[in-house]
Amino acid sequence: MNAPTTPTAVLFPGQGSQQPGMREPTEAALPALVELADELCGDDAFARADEGTRFQQPALYCAALAAWESLRAEVEPVALAGHSLGEITALAAAGSLSHEDGLRLVAARGRLMQEAADVSDGGMMAVRGSRAEVEPRVRESGVALANDNSPRQVVLAGASADLDALEDMRGKRLPVAGAFHSPLMRPAVEGFRAELARAEFREPTVPVISCVSARPFEDPRQELAAALTSPVRWVDVLGTLHERGVRRFVETGPGSVLTGLVRKTLGDVEAQTHG
C-alpha cells in the first residue's frame, strides 16, 4: 500500500521575485509564451524586468509558469495560491485561464499599473509588526495597508508624503514604481476590467485561493479587478490553506520569498522552493 502523501499547496510569486537569467530556462520550457511576451511588451520583457512593472509582471508570470511545468510531474497539489500577480499565474496553472490569456491579462495589468503609478507620486513601505499593531496608525494616516505578509511584516502603500510622515515606524521603502494595492491604483481598474471581460475563464482543476477574499475564487473577473486596490491578505490565504488540511507548501520560484513567509506564519508545516 502506498503511503499517504502530505496535502500540498503550490505557491506562485509576485513582483520583486525576479532574478537574472530567467529568460533561458523559461524559453526552453515555453518558447511560444516568451515570444508572445516580447510581442505584448514591444521588447524583451526579461532583459527589462528591473525597469518597471510593465516588463516585470509578464517576465515573472512566464518564469513561474515554466517552473510549474517542471514541477507538476512531482506534486499533486490540493490547492494553489499566488501573491498579487501570482494569482493570475495560479489560475493559469489550474487551467482556469489559458497560458496565453493569462499573459495578456498580466501584460495589460502591468502596463495599466505603470500608467497609474506614473500619474501619482506614490510608493510602498515594509514595516515590522502585525496587521493588528499597524492598523491604528494606518487609520490615522493617508496610507493603505497593501500587503499583510506575515505576523511580523506588513506593507503600506500611499503618497510619498504620507509615507514620509510615518518615518517613526522605521519602515523600509521598497524599490517599486507606485502605491500598488491602494486607492492610487484606481485609474487602472476600468481598463483592466475591459481586459478581464475578453478573457475566457473556466473551472479550475483544483481550488485557487483569492488574495482579496482569502477563499477559493468564485468570480475571477470581479476579484482580480478588486485586487488592484485591495490588500493582499497573505496571512489569511495561508490560514485558509492550513484549515483545508495543507501541511506542505511548495513555491515555484523564481525566488523564495513566499517560502520564507510560510515559515514565519505557520509553525507545523513543510515549506520549500522548487529547484
Query: Would you name the residues annotated as active-site residues?
Result: 84, 181
Distance between CA atoms of residues 180 and 185, nearest Å: 6
C-alpha cell at 73: 510531474
- Rg over alpha carbons for the chain, rounded to the nearest Å, is 18
Q: Which helix (H) or strand (E) holds 79?
A: strand 79-82
HEC states along 125-148? EEEECCHHHHHHHHHHCCCEEEEE
> C-alpha dihedral over 84, 86, 88, 93, to 10 degrees?
-160
To the nearest 10 degrees (0 to 180), the angle between helices 31-41 and 99-118 is 30
Helices (H), the chain: 23-29, 31-41, 53-71, 86-93, 99-118, 131-140, 160-164, 189-198, 220-227, 234-243, 257-265
What is the rounded distance in angstroms from the CA atom of residue 53 to the CA atom of residue 106?
Answer: 10
